[in-house]
Amino acid sequence: LLGADGSLGVTIFEEITNLAQQTGAINLGQGFPDEDGPASIKEAARAAIAAGANQYAPGKGTLELRTAIAAHQERFYGLLPDPETEIIVTTGATEAIAATLLALTGPGDEVLTFEPFYDSYGAVIGLSGAVHSTVPLLAPDFQPDLTALEAAFTERTKVVLINNPHNPTGAVFPREVLSRIVALAEKFDAVIVTDEVYEHLTFGPKHIPIATLPGAAERTLTISSAGKTFSFTGWKIGWLSGPAQLVAAVRTVKQFLSYSSGTPFQNAIAGGLGLGDDFYQGIAADLADKRDVLSNGLQKAGLKVLPSQGTYFVLADTAALGITDATALARRLPALIGVAAIPVPVFCHADGAERTKSLLRFAYCKKIPVLEEAAARLSTLQ
Ligand code: PMP
Ligand code: GLN
């Protein structure tokens, strides 16, 4: 996040993961699974390395992966992006977000996001020189007020950047909210950028890609990542799809950020995208159980749980324990009880930080006994 002096500090994920490692705490901070994804995908990467897929991939990604991404978009959403012109592979969703904002925005523009917002959004909007305006998502359901949403758009709104399913709140946005965003983007001629890295990780409400709504596709760039769907966050394979002209603009910037992305991982992920429905249903069902175990444990530990409908994360209010500064608590928690979590104010500007000052984000993408142990340790806070 940009500090008060405009500098970029160490990300909260690195800070809390370092604390967890130093203290040996259970790390429910940074969102990464504690079990690898499918063995068949790992084997495919190993085979690709052995077969010599070890030099630069094409800048826009291997044809095999771009074709698999197009097939995935058609299979799940009925979208038909052209693998040649409407898809690029990126070094994680993080690079797709950065290249998009740097390509499309600059000084004098406004980028609108919800708040809390994923930390890289604030940092990259700052790097681009644009102004970052926000619409609050309020507890307990973290859905935007549609009047406030409308009021936040201006003639300068160049990009509306949404994240659905939403990190850190676990909210999943319904059609009503998405169609209002499309209508406002049309009215103000803004580009919709949608970060859907948790597209397959919802537990109840089904994920609706905003690009599938009437009028949206021609102004929407959709970002996703293999990290979350396949539990390979360290491989950093992401992608972006949308209208050829917008994708070309992003690709121009990507050339100078990373040029291309990890060759042997690309075709392994291409195979992963083609896995059967049982894989996709299985990851969501498994994560739903983990969400329930952690949510129940947090509640028993005396925290107020704000229900999560998707992602890897659930928010809990520590005010129920008489704690008012979750940021200070998050820095002490690993040493105090051996659990690490992320304070929600880091995903906010000043007003939002005040509103969320007692909230912690916990990641539930961990083995069930690990979550149970973390809950037991948290219960000692009471
Ligand atoms: N967007 C959101 C909302 C995230 O939670 C994350 C973290 N995985 C990213 C983007 C970054 O994804 P990647 O690891 O693929 O760069
Ligand atoms: N997306 C992950 C999270 O929200 C962390 C990614 C990172 O460390 N930058 O926890």
**Ligand 1 center from residue 234 Cα (angstroms):** 11
Cβ(13) – ligand 2 distance below 6 Å: yes
Q: What is the DSSP string of 112-153?
A: EEEES--HHHHHHHHHHT-EEEEEEB-TTT-PBPHHHHHHH-
Relative to the CA of 167, which ligand 1 atom is closest?
Answer: 3
Give 221-235 pLDDT, tens digit per residue.
999 999 999 999 999
Looking at 235-316, list the stretches that DSSP marks H as alpha helix, in order from N- to C-terminal side. Answer: 244-257, 263-273, 277-300
**Ligand 1 center from residue 379 Cα (angstroms):** 30
Ligand 1: which residue has its CA nearest to atom 7? Answer: 31
So what's the pLDDT on residue 9?
82
**Ligand 2 center from residue 29 Cα (angstroms):** 9
- Give the residue-averaged pLDDT of 114-137: 97
Does residue 244 register a pLDDT over 70? yes
CATH number of 12-30+278-381: 3.90.1150.10
Q: 165 and 199 in contact (C-beta within 8 Å)?
A: yes
Cβ(167) – ligand 2 distance below 6 Å: yes
**Ligand 1 center from residue 166 Cα (angstroms):** 11
So what's the pLDDT on residue 6?
54
Relative to the CA of 226, which ligand 1 atom is closest?
Answer: 15
Cβ(297) – ligand 1 distance below 6 Å: no
Of residues 1 and 186, more confidently modeled: 186
**Ligand 1 center from residue 167 Cα (angstroms):** 9
Give 25-52 pLDDT, tens digit per residue.
999 999 999 999 999 999 999 999 999 9
So what's the pLDDT on residue 92?
98
Instruction: Find residue 223's DSSP bridge partners.
Output: 195, 240
Q: 236 and 263 in contact (C-beta within 8 Å)?
A: no
Model confidence at 1, pLDDT cuts 50, 70, 90, reads very low
**Ligand 1 center from residue 61 Cα (angstroms):** 19
Cβ(31) – ligand 2 distance below 6 Å: yes
Task: Mention every residue, 6+ apart, whose C-beta is less than 8 A from residue 115.
Answer: 134, 135, 136, 137, 347, 348, 349, 352
**Ligand 1 center from residue 209 Cα (angstroms):** 17
Q: What is the mean pLDDT of the chain?
A: 96
**Ligand 2 center from residue 235 Cα (angstroms):** 13
So what's the pLDDT on residue 7?
61
Give 323-370 pLDDT, tens digit per residue.
999 999 999 999 999 999 999 999 999 999 999 999 999 999 999 999
Give the integer Cα–Cα distance in Å for 210 and 81: 14
Q: 275 and 76 in contact (C-beta within 8 Å)?
A: no
Relative to the CA of 233, which ligand 2 atom is closest?
Answer: 6
Cβ(92) – ligand 1 distance below 6 Å: yes
| Percentage of the chain lying above the pLDDT 90 cut | 97
Give the integer Cα–Cα distance in Å for 55 and 347: 37
Does residue 5 register a pLDDT over 70? no
Ligand 2: which residue has its CA nearest to atom 2? Answer: 31
Give 93-112 pLDDT, tens digit per residue.
999 999 999 999 999 999 99
Ligand 2: which residue has its CA nearest to atom 7? Answer: 13
Does residue 3 register a pLDDT over 70? no
Give the integer Cα–Cα distance in Å for 114 and 134: 5
Tell which one of 1, 8, 11, 13 to mutate to probe ligand 2, the residue whose CB is within 8 A of the most ligand atoms: 13
66: left (phi over 0), alpha (psi -120 to 50) or beta: alpha
Cβ(93) – ligand 1 distance below 6 Å: yes
Cβ(30) – ligand 2 distance below 6 Å: yes
Does residue 4 register a pLDDT over 60? no
3-class secondary structure for 183-196? HHHHHCCCEEEEEC
Give 132-161 pLDDT, tens digit per residue.
999 999 999 999 999 999 999 999 999 999
Relative to the CA of 94, which ligand 1 atom is closest?
Answer: 16
User: What are the Cα distances from residue 249, in Å, to 96, 216, 245?
Assistant: 12, 18, 6
ipTM (interface pTM): 0.98
Burial class (CB in 10 A: 0-12, 13-18, 19+), 49: middle
Cβ(227) – ligand 1 distance below 6 Å: yes
Q: 169 and 135 in contact (C-beta within 8 Å)?
A: no
| Cis amide leading into 107 (omega within 30) | no
Q: State both tokens at 50.
A: 């052995």
User: Domain locations in the chain?
Assistant: 12-30+278-381, 40-273
**Ligand 1 center from residue 95 Cα (angstroms):** 9
Cα of first residue to Cα of last residue in the chain, in angstroms, is: 32
| pTM of the model as a whole | 0.97
- Give the residue-averaged pLDDT of 303-317: 98
Give the integer Cα–Cα distance in Å for 238 and 255: 15
So what's the pLDDT on residue 382?
87
Query: What is the topology classification, in CATH, of domain 40-273?
Result: Aspartate Aminotransferase; domain 2 (3.40.640)
